[in-house]
C-alpha cells in the first residue's frame, strides 16, 4: 500500500469509503522526506495542513517567553497531527511547534483542500471531530501536569500517558520503546532534569520502573496510577 493510501486509511471515516472515493482524497496528499532536528512548522506560522507520519517521530512543543520548553506530545509512525488546521479562521497559527525527532517521511493534505472535500461530504467529519476531542483531553491533562510542577503525581501521569500511547505489554510489564532523557521527560510537565532524576531514581528503587537508553519499563502501573491521583 502506498504511503498516500496509508494516510487515508488511518482516518476511520475515510478507511470505509469505496476505493474510487479514496482515490479522490489520495490525489490531495503530498509526501516529503524529513531529517532529525528539522522544524516542520512553528506555532507562529499559519496552520495550512494536516500531517501524517509514515516513518520517524515528531515532537510537538511550546516555548515560554523565557525559552522554557514544554513537550506536549511525541507522534510516531501511523499518527496524524496538526488536525486543528481544519476549519480554523484565516491566519490562525499551529497550536505547537513540530520538530523531527527521527528521520523519515511525512504526508500532508492542505487544510483548504480537505475542508472543501469535507463540506461536500459532511458525514465524514464526525470521526475527525472525535479525534480532535481526544487531542483536547490530552492537552488538558498536560496543563494539569504543568500546574503540578515538579510533583511525583505529574511524573506518574506523564509515564502512564506514554504507556497508553506507546507502551507494549511484555511478560506482564509495559515497555515504552522511546529514547527519552530525564530532561525530555521533564519537558512534558515543566520539571527540571534534576527533579525528574530524583523522582525516577525513587521509582526505580521502589521497583515501579526500570529504564535504559532505549526504553522505559513499567512494572507497577497500578502504583503509578495511585501516585497520579494524589
Which whole-number Å values give the CA distances from 42 to 59, 77, 153, 166, 185, in the listed order? 12, 21, 30, 25, 21
Task: Determine phi and psi for 39, rounding to 5 degrees.
Answer: -90, 115
Q: Which domains are assigned to the chain?
A: 3-146 (2.60.120.10), 149-228 (1.10.10.10)
| Three cell numbers, residue 109 | 493534505
Each residue of 117-167: pLDDT tens digit? Answer: 777 777 666 666 666 666 666 665 555 555 555 578 888 888 988 898 888
- pLDDT band for 204, please (50, 70, 90 cuts): very high
DSSP string, 107-162: EEEEHHHHHHHHHH-GGGHHHHHHHHHHHHHHHHHHHHHHHTTT-HHHHHHHHHHH
Report d(CA 142, CA 157) in Å as an integer: 9
| Three cell numbers, residue 116 | 472543501
Each residue of 49-79: pLDDT tens digit? Answer: 989 888 999 999 887 666 677 788 888 888 8
- In sequence order, the 6+-apart residues with CB closer than 8 A to the CB of 3 are 31, 54, 105, 107
- pLDDT band for 91, please (50, 70, 90 cuts): confident
Is residue 103 within 8 Å of 56, Cβ to Cβ?
yes
Tally of residues, the chain: 230
Amino acid at each position: 500500500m502506498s504511503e498516500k493510501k496509508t494516510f487515508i486509511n488511518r482516518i476511520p471515516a475515510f478507511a470505509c469509503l469505496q476505493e474510487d472515493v479514496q482515490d479522490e482524497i489520495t490525489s490531495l496528499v503530498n509526501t516529503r522526506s524529513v531529517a532529525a532536528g528539522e522544524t516542520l512548522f512553528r506555532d507562529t506560522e499559519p496552520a495550512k495542513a494536516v500531517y501524517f507520519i509514515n516513518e520517524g517521530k515528531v515532537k510537538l512543543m511550546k516555548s515560554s517567553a523565557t525559552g522554557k520548553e514544554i513537550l506536549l506530545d511525541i507522534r510516531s509512525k501511523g499518527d496524524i497531527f496538526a488536525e486543528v488546521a481544519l476549519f480554523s479562521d484565516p491566519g490562525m497559527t499551529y497550536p505547537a511547534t513540530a520538530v523531527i525527532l527521527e528521520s523519515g517521511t511525512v504526508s500532508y493534505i492542505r487544510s483548504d483542500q480537505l475542508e472543501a472535500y469535507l463540506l461536500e461530504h459532511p458525514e465524514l467529519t464526525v470521526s475527525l471531530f472525535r479525534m480532535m476531542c481526544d487531542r483536547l483531553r490530552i492537552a488538558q491533562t498536560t496543563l494539569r501536569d504543568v500546574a503540578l510542577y515538579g510533583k511525583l503525581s505529574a511524573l506518574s501521569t506523564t509515564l502512564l500517558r506514554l504507556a497508553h500511547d506507546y507502551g507494549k505489554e511484555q511478560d506482564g510489564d509495559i515497555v515504552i520503546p522511546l529514547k527519552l532523557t530525564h530532561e525530555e521527560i521533564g519537558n512534558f510537565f515543566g520539571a527540571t532534569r534534576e527533579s525528574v532524576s530524583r523522582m525516577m531514581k525513587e521509582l526505580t528503587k521502589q521497583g515501579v520502573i526500570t529504564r535504559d537508553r532505549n526504553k522505559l519499563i513499567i512494572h507497577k502501573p497500578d502504583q503509578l496510577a495511585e501516585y497520579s491521583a494524589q
